[in-house]
Amino acid sequence: MIKGRVIGPRSVLDDHCVLVENGRIKQVAPTSQVLWPDDAAVVNAHGAFVAPGFVDMHVHGAMGRDTMDGALESLAQIARFHAAGGTTAMTPTTVTADAGRIHAALEAVALAQGRDFGGARIMGAHIEGPYLSPEKRGAHPASQVRLPDPAEYKAWLERDGLVTQMTFAPELPGGLELLDALLEHEVLPSGGHTAATGDQMREAVARGLCQATHLFNCMSSAGKSGPWRVPGALETFLVEDQVMVELIADGHHVHPGLMKLAIRAKGVDKICLITDAVAGAGLAEGTEFKVGDTTGVVRAGVGMTPDESGLVGSVSTMIQMVRNAVTLAGVSVVDAVRMASLNPARALGLSAHKGSLEPGKDADIVLFTPEYLVTHTMVAGRVEYQDQSVIDGAQGVG
């Protein structure tokens, strides 16, 4: 049983508890109304928040390790690191590379699914690239960006339950056919690294595209067509109700003012907080790392190119994204947690089991203090991470 300030889907439930049995949530109720056996294990949050575990649907790496390593041990270390930030479920994310390296990365993710690494559970793989706009490729290598090839991508999509989502530029020749294939295989299609016009993106949305990858980053925006001012992919994502969007809330990738704009345009229920964390997460300032074949360096709390001319992913955890959504974008802690848990679970089709603290769901739970410090992360009711120094400091919290 976990006692504390329980974060429900729409409100904070003070002096409540979450009862866990056989890895699932049995009951959420006021502590005064619950009877439990004398030998029951009790975790007292001491006034800290008890929240659903975070679901990170876009994460590349941590601690010098990357999904593109194609190694089980790399995925295990990434999963353990991000559990310390409250993540309980994640989809390791590839980058643009040759078909052999992408295949190797997917094979490693397939081996990691369902394994207990003592960290976040790996739910499947997010393929980002290689079918991206050359002019909006960001840190993806230009030499490997290419047009959609059914002979290549069908082999990835036919692995049932492995690929959860794919980021691609739908305006490319063959892009709409790829979109059809993703929907056929029940893989979440996400528009990103795209130079699409508003008309092109609206066509893709009408055809079934329902997700946008890291909003504001690496996508076309409003411009002119002759004398007319017209929308790009960004504005289309903001106004189309059926599109859910990813948001990197590290305060670097997206200015706080733009974060507020996204929340006002989309509403809380259409935003998924992501880390987009790369191998630099957890490394010291000035340390170099790799994202695929691209070199990055940890600078000022973010991953940058060595010449500091561009970004190369974030080095943040999900609890930092939740904190920033509150402190920089002005949302409530309930809404910030929702954007980090239930919304991505819904996007990935996992909300029947994950994303909120409700009876029957997996007991994926994170405890964090009012200062946004994680004390415990539990996966299926089992403590996979705890910080005793933070726990000791939280004893006096009301």
What is the spatial distance between Cα 23 and Cα 379, in angstroms, rounded to a whole number? 8
Q: How many structural domains does the chain have?
A: 2
- Please give the pLDDT value at position 33: 85
Residues 107 and 206 placed together within one structural domain of the fold: yes
Residue 109 counted as domain residue: yes
What is the spatial distance between Cα 176 and Cα 169, in angstroms, rounded to a whole number? 9
Angle of the 99-112 helix axis to the 150-157 helix axis, nearest 10: 10
- Please give the pLDDT value at position 242: 96
Q: Which residue segment(s) compose the domain that 341 sits in?
A: 54-347
Residues 117 and 261 placed together within one structural domain of the fold: yes
Q: In Å, how far are 2, 44, 275, 364 from 16, measured between CA atoms?
A: 8, 11, 30, 17
| In the block, residue with structure tokens 């230009």 | 142
By the 10 Å C-beta count (0-12 exposed, 13-18 middle, 19+ buried), 26 is classed as middle
Specify whether the CB–CB gap between 5 and 47 falls below 8 A. yes
Q: What are phi and psi of 193, to 5 degrees?
A: 50, 55
Residues 89 and 13 placed together within one structural domain of the fold: no
Residues 74 and 94 placed together within one structural domain of the fold: yes
- Please give the pLDDT value at position 45: 77
- Please give the pLDDT value at position 395: 59
Residues 112 and 209 placed together within one structural domain of the fold: yes
- Please give the pLDDT value at position 394: 61
What is the spatial distance between Cα 375 and Cα 382, in angstroms, rounded to a whole number? 14
**170 Cβ partners below 8 Å, 6+ apart?**
176, 178, 179, 189, 191, 194, 196, 200, 201, 203, 204, 209
Which DSSP category does 356 fall into? S
By the 10 Å C-beta count (0-12 exposed, 13-18 middle, 19+ buried), 307 is classed as exposed
Single-letter amino acid code for the residue at 356: S
Residues 241 and 333 placed together within one structural domain of the fold: yes
Q: Which residues of the chain have pLDDT under 50?
A: 397-398
Residues 253 and 383 placed together within one structural domain of the fold: no
Residue 354 counted as domain residue: no
Residues 46 and 117 placed together within one structural domain of the fold: no
Residue 168 counted as domain residue: yes
Q: What does 81-144 look like in DSSP terms, one character per residue? A: HHHTTTEEEEEEB--S--HHHHHHHHHHHHHHTT---SSPEE--EEEE-SS--GGG-TTS-GGG
By the 10 Å C-beta count (0-12 exposed, 13-18 middle, 19+ buried), 392 is classed as exposed
- Please give the pLDDT value at position 361: 98
Q: Which residues are catalytic?
A: 276
Q: CATH no. for residue 24?
A: 2.30.40.10
Q: Give just the sign of the alpha carbon dihedral 350, 354, 356, 357.
A: positive
Ramachandran assignment for 384, one of left (phi > 0), alpha (psi -120 to 50 degrees), beta (any other): alpha
Which DSSP category does 308 fall into? S
Structure tokens at 138: 């960001």
Residues 117 and 30 placed together within one structural domain of the fold: no
Bridge-partner residues for 52, per DSSP?
365
Structure tokens at 52: 């659903």
Residues 12 and 97 placed together within one structural domain of the fold: no
Single-letter amino acid code for the residue at 398: G
What is the spatial distance between Cα 165 and Cα 182, in angstroms, rounded to a whole number? 8
| In the block, residue with structure tokens 């002979």 | 151
What is the spatial distance between Cα 392 and Cα 238, in angstroms, rounded to a whole number? 43
Residues 241 and 366 placed together within one structural domain of the fold: no
pLDDT tens by residue, 205-248: 999 999 999 999 999 999 999 999 999 999 999 999 999 999 99
Residues 29 and 93 placed together within one structural domain of the fold: no
- Please give the pLDDT value at position 398: 39
